[in-house]
Chains A and B, each alone.
Chain A
Amino acid sequence: MGGFFQELAKVLAQRWLSLLAIPGAFFIAVAWLGVTLGHAKAWDHTLLSQRATAVATAVTKLPAGAQVLLVVAFLVAPAGVGFAVQALAGVTRRLWLGQWPRQLAALPVRRRRARWHRLVAKRRCLEDDSPEPRTAREQDLVDAAADRVNRMAMAEPGRPTWMGDRIHAVESVALHRSGLDLTFGWPRLWLLLPETTRTELSNAHAAFAAAVATGTWALPYLVLAAFWWPAAVIAVLVGLTGWARARAAITDLSSLAEAAVDLHGRELAAALGVVDPEGTGPLTVDDGERTTALMRKGR
């Protein structure tokens, strides 16, 4: 256990450094730069050099105690800024996962749904034009059309964002194909999953959380851009990095979650006594719906 806690402490320290302290220190440096230079003299090296020299001179003239306090403040401030920014991570998460107010989400959801159905219709046209058995080229065209549908959303869209729809698809597929309502089913399924499956899911979720944390750093840079426009470029770069990583992580997470439902959904139904634990075959929609009814308890 001692080794475990040492390892955990090491991981937490690394996370603290990479997600809070280092970005926090970088932001403080950029903020000082931005406030010092402003829009008008955004790239004035001479002014920057003069101000830096003036600050350094002022610091050297401070009494020793004040200098020590200043060093402590420089060590603590980045983490403080980091904590403050990470308090906003929930906003980024909700934004990316499409958990928007209903009125705001309605139009983009309608548009995404219409676009998805247009892509499905194109696929159906291709399938109808080239019934099986198909030539390799015909099959390639059908495969590519199906891929365009899946790349947009793995099931009929229900959220205003791509990432939101990846999660929505897991819930939708579980409900429509296995009869399981994951709002109530997921915690119970989680308790039944083998340790290796839970570890894979946790890793994918941790990768998503880290990407959200990265993307959230775009927000303070956007605020800073009001004083120093180059901060807007940093905001875009940081935001895009986090967003791209989050998309990759959510792909893994949603694929693993759907796989977990496919592989272990029957165990959940068996654990609740709906199906025979010795039975085989996929979980039927009817059995899944009975399992859901037991979990929802009329709610």
Chain B
Amino acid sequence: MIGSSSHDVTVSAAVDVERAALTSLCKEFDALRDEARRHSVEREQLLDQILVEARARRPVLGLLSRLLGTDGDTTLRALGAGLPGGGPGRASGERFSCPDGSCDRTDVPPPAGALPRCRVTGQLMRQA
């Protein structure tokens, strides 16, 4: 009885992991496709094979491990950390203005630099 319950837990955990892998694959498929294209035809074919397996709702974690060159345990993390976030992203501009709008001074601090303060009141300037 105990053996059967432990077997159920193991099966359930495996299903959860596959489900998480499928979720990540679905979310990040475009990035994965772009990345595979940059590598080799074999890698692209492997991604196609993963897609076939995923559509048939068969396990994909093992194939994803091969695609990403990681073991099964780290595949899920690599999916979440390796591909998205690898590009330049969208540049974030910042412009600050007078804290209470009394003057027209604006300031653009260096990226991640100190927030500018009003030199008259000492208050932090407001993001425009």
A and B from one assembly?
yes
CA distance A233 to B47 in the complex (A): 39
- Mark each residue of chain B from 86 to 128: 1 if its CB lies under 8 Å from any CB of chain A, else 0: 0111111100000000000000101111110000000010000
Residues of B contacting A154 in the complex (Cβ-Cβ under 8 angstroms) = 112
CA distance A207 to B68 in the complex (A): 19
Give the most central of A139, A154, A177: most B CB within 10 Å. Answer: A177
A side interface size, CB within 8 A: 25
Q: How far is the CB of A174 from chain B (nearest CB, A)?
A: 10
Q: Verify if A144 is at the interface (C-beta below 8 Å from B).
A: yes
The majority secondary structure among interface residues of chain A is helix
Contact present for B113 and A146 (CB under 8 Å) = no
Closest B residue to A172 by beta carbon equals: B112
Q: Verify if A286 is at the interface (C-beta below 8 Å from B).
A: yes
Residues of A contacting B89 in the complex (Cβ-Cβ under 8 angstroms) = 143, 146-147
Residues of A contacting B111 in the complex (Cβ-Cβ under 8 angstroms) = 120, 146, 149-150, 155
Residues of B contacting A145 in the complex (Cβ-Cβ under 8 angstroms) = 91
B side interface size, CB within 8 A: 15
Contact present for B115 and A177 (CB under 8 Å) = yes
Q: Verify if A25 is at the interface (C-beta below 8 Å from B).
A: no
Residue of B90, B92, B108, B112 near A176 (CB, 8 A) is B112
Known: A139-B90, A176-B115. 10 other contacts (CB 8 A): A132-B93, A144-B88, A145-B91, A146-B88, A146-B89, A155-B113, A156-B113, A172-B112, A176-B113, A285-B115
Q: What are 29 pairs between A and B in contact, CB < 8 Å?
A: A120-B110, A120-B111, A123-B91, A124-B108, A127-B91, A142-B91, A143-B89, A143-B90, A143-B91, A144-B88, A145-B91, A146-B91, A147-B87, A147-B91, A150-B88, A150-B111, A154-B112, A155-B110, A155-B112, A156-B110, A156-B112, A156-B113, A172-B112, A176-B112, A176-B115, A177-B115, A285-B115, A285-B124, A286-B124
